[in-house]
Amino acid sequence: MNSIYTLMEHIGIQGRVNYEMDLDLIFKKLIQKQITYQSDNLGLNLLISRLQLRYSNNRTEEELERCLQDCPLCERSSQFG
Amino acid sequence: MNPTVGWISGFDLSTDSEAKVYDGSSGESYGDKAVALHICLPDDKIASLGIVNIFDIDEQDSKIEFPEDTLAVTKCLVNGKETFLADFIFENGINTQLPLVADYNGTYINVSIKSVSKENKTVDLYAPVFAGKEYRFAKPVSDYAKSFEEHLQGFKDLKPIFSCNCVLNYLYGKLDGKATPPFAGPVTFGEIAYQLLNQTLVYAVVLDK
């Protein structure tokens, strides 16, 4: 959880946000390497790297959506409040 | 995410053996399976994995890329120019105790050199390299053992529930007879923290959510 907030702070998202929509957008941008991201969270770093690599080998909207669905932090759940 | 931590089964590298896992109930052995212990934590706890990697890279060093995912490299791109990795290693006098290192969004991940054949122009690795990732050879470490010990100082307040250290750290870091607090787990082939790693100590801690 802390990594998500760190990530959001890193890319300058402040204030009240629509977590559902903005998280999807953030992760899509991450997967497409349109924004940079670094953290000390091993699992997140490896996962995002893997999704970035997968997308770079198949740069389609369908693959982007599949990568997004494979990102467990993008689940629309109460964990994000 | 389900944190996965563990290691590859060891075997005598000087033989033609293979890594195996065993079903203790039947005695059967497998070369293509894994034994997994699934651990349920209380609702208020979470497992977190980390690594100790003593290696760093210099962004100014030669960038190496590979055309395919592989454990055995012949040709690669060095700063965009096609080269045999074996030739690059020999021509630049690269110490093969140093791993290739890739930056995974702030985490440095190693790929260790198993062997280099001048005749076959092939470099065998202990973990695969991936097409699309940029690698550089690690910055030289003047004293491997001392560097490893210094890196451990940053973890002395950690309370790991599990750890395993790479056998290459043991060999190159001259860890025979030495303790590596706070880590006290096995020394293994191919440590795993979400994926196969090399020349890395991996550990797990349990944290409050």
Per-residue pLDDT of chain B (209 residues; tens, 9 = 90+): 689 999 998 888 788 888 899 999 999 999 999 999 999 999 999 999 999 999 999 999 999 999 999 999 999 999 999 999 999 999 999 999 999 999 999 999 999 999 999 999 999 999 999 999 999 999 999 999 899 999 999 999 999 999 999 999 999 999 999 999 999 999 988 899 999 999 999 999 999 98
Amino acid code (one letter) for B164: C
Same domain as B127, residue B24: no
Residue B188's alpha-carbon distances to A5, B164, B168, in angstroms, are 35, 7, 9
Q: Could you give the number of structural domains in chain B?
A: 2
Q: How many CB pairs lie under 8 A apart between chains A and B?
A: 42
In a domain, B16, yes or no: yes
- ipTM of this complex: 0.86
- Rg (C-alpha) for chain B, rounded Å, is 18
Quote the CA–CA distance of A27 and B128 in Å, as a whole number.
26
Q: In sequence order, what are the beta bridge partners of B7?
A: B191
The range of the structural domain enclosing residue B15 comes to 5-54+142-208
Q: Among B137, B158, B193, identify where a domain stops.
A: B137
Same domain as B88, residue B130: yes
Q: What's the gap in Å between the CA of B184 and the closest CA on chain A? A: 21
Q: Among B120, B137, B154, identify where a domain stops.
A: B137
CB proximity under 8 Å: A 18-47 to B = 37-40, 42-47
Same domain as B194, residue B96: no
Taking the whole predicted model, whether its pTM rises above 0.80 is answered as yes
Q: What's the gap in Å between the CA of B155 and the closest CA on chain A? A: 14
In a domain, B59, yes or no: no
DSSP-assigned states of every residue in B119-188: TTTEEEEEEEE-TT--EEEPPP-S-HHHHHHHHHHTTTT---SEEEEEHHHHHHTT-TT--BTTB---EE
Where do we find the tokens 């998202």?
A13
